[in-house]
Amino acid sequence: MGEKKYKIGYTTGVFDLFHIGHLNILRRAKEQCEYLIVGVTTDELCTKTKSKHPIICEAERVAIIESVRYVDKVVLQSDMDKLSAVKNHGVNAVFVGSDWKGTPSWVKYEQEFESVGCKVVYLEHTDGISSTILRERLNKE
């Protein structure tokens, strides 16, 4: 398989209503790193930052992500301090969907991470699917 570009990768998400887009992000991230750590957003943080409570509870979302073969370790993401997570886990690549590229928050993260030798890697977003789209479909039925 050859050597991976990064040693330790990190990505985060709520991973509510797990779907193919989530799987694609995890697979694409793991293709580029030897060890993939996934931060699963806590119910509390999700409610605070997105003003909506996940449909699938935190413990079950963690269990789902732990069962995905591309994931080496799951941690809870209880705050938005991504730099602290990068430092604490020795991460050298943070993976995020390409839909975040160029946003003010991710331009700032790129600069912060660069100062500790970590790169932001934007992965292609899977079009036509998201937990929000699934929620909307469920609400219509």
Question: What is the DSSP secondary structure assignment for residue 5, as one 8-state letter?
Answer: S
Q: Which two tokens stand for residue 100?
A: 């975040």
Report the topology of domain 6-140: Rossmann fold (3.40.50)
Residues of the chain with pLDDT under 70: 1-2
Q: Return the beta strands (E) in 16-125 as ranges.
A: 33-41, 73-77, 93-97, 119-123
The pLDDT, as a whole number, for residue 99 is 87
Question: What is the DSSP secondary structure assignment for residue 127, as one 8-state letter?
Answer: T
Q: Over the stretch 7-41, which tens digit does the pLDDT of each residue have? A: 999 999 999 989 999 999 999 999 999 999 999 99
- Residue whose C-alpha is closest to residue 25's, from 94, 81, 77, 114: 94
Distances (CA, A) of 110 to 45, 117, 124: 22, 10, 17
The pLDDT, as a whole number, for residue 2 is 65
- Residue whose C-alpha is closest to residue 123's, from 44, 10, 34: 10
Q: Which residues contact 50 (CB under 8 A, 6 or more apart)?
A: 14
The pLDDT, as a whole number, for residue 67 is 97
Residue 41: other Cβ atoms inside 10 A: 24
Mark whether 50 is an active-site residue. Answer: yes
What is the domain partition of the chain in residue ranges?
6-140
Which residue out of 50, 73, 101, 119 is catalytically annotated? 50
Which residue out of 5, 30, 48, 52 is catalytically annotated? 52
Mark whether 48 is an active-site residue. Answer: no
The pLDDT, as a whole number, for residue 1 is 52
